[in-house]
Structure formats: C-alpha cells, structure tokens
Structure 1
Amino acid sequence: MPAATGDSHTRSLSKAISWRVTGSVDTFVLSWLITGSVKFAGSIASIEVFTKIVLYYLHERAWALIPLGRPRR
C-alpha cells in the first residue's frame, strides 16, 4: 500500500538500501581512518548496515504520515 506521499513499501525499502550502501562506505572509510584497521572498520560497517536499514525504513514510513511541508489537497 502506498504511503501518503505515493511511495510504495518497495520504493521506501529500495531507498533505504541505496542510502545504506552510501552510509556504510562512509562508515567504513571513517572507521578505517580512525582505527587504522581494515578488519575492525569492516566489522563496524557490517554490523551497522543491518541496523540502519531498519531504522531508515521506519523513519521514512513515519515521515510519510506527517503532513509537514506538503501541499494541501
């Protein structure tokens, strides 16, 4: 069922995954620079990819219910 914005669950999930790939690369690079360890940076990026997909998806769906900034119909 589409959200109030017209985005389907599939679209919201796809956006969450594409954003997470971008975010995980960022997390990996920053972790590597800070720790100096590719292995440790990979561990951090691997764990956060799953938790943040779920958090982003829930955040996206919650915002779909909020009319703030949308034109009135």
Structure 2
Amino acid sequence: MMKTTVLSVNGMHCDGCAQTIEALLSRVPGVRKAEASYEGRRARILHDQEQAPVRNLIAAIAKGGFEVKAAVG
C-alpha cells in the first residue's frame, strides 16, 4: 500500500542539502518519489509502507547527518 509521509528535517543548510536528502531517500527500496525542501525543512516521500517503513526513511536521512524532528501529518 502506497503512502505519502512528510518528515520535518533538521540540519539542512542549503538547497544542496535538500538534494542530498532526495538522493538518500531514492535509494531506499520501496520509495517511489522523494521531494525535500530546504526552505520548508521537510521531506515528502511517496513509499510502499511494507517495503519502506517510516523507520527506514528516517535511517536514510540520518545517514546524511540530518535529524528528523517529527513526522508531519
């Protein structure tokens, strides 16, 4: 089942950081689309809940040195 999850991300310093988060998330099996916003400090991910549970999304973001503050919505 596909789901859209929005995560609040701490530690972004520029649009390049947002692109890094998108790249990290795109490597997670089950992620269909990932968009990150430096200005909004958020990542919006369309993913298969079974293949890519939220904990996997958070772990992928953490690999880049970013911190997920909270799930939004």
Same fold (TM over 0.5): no
Bigger relative contact order, structure 1 or 2 (CA pairs below 8 A, ≥6 apart): 2
Structure 2-normalised TM-score?
0.31
Kindly name which structure, 1 or 2, has the bigger radius of gyration based on alpha carbons.
1
| Bigger share in helix | 1
| Bigger share in strand | 2
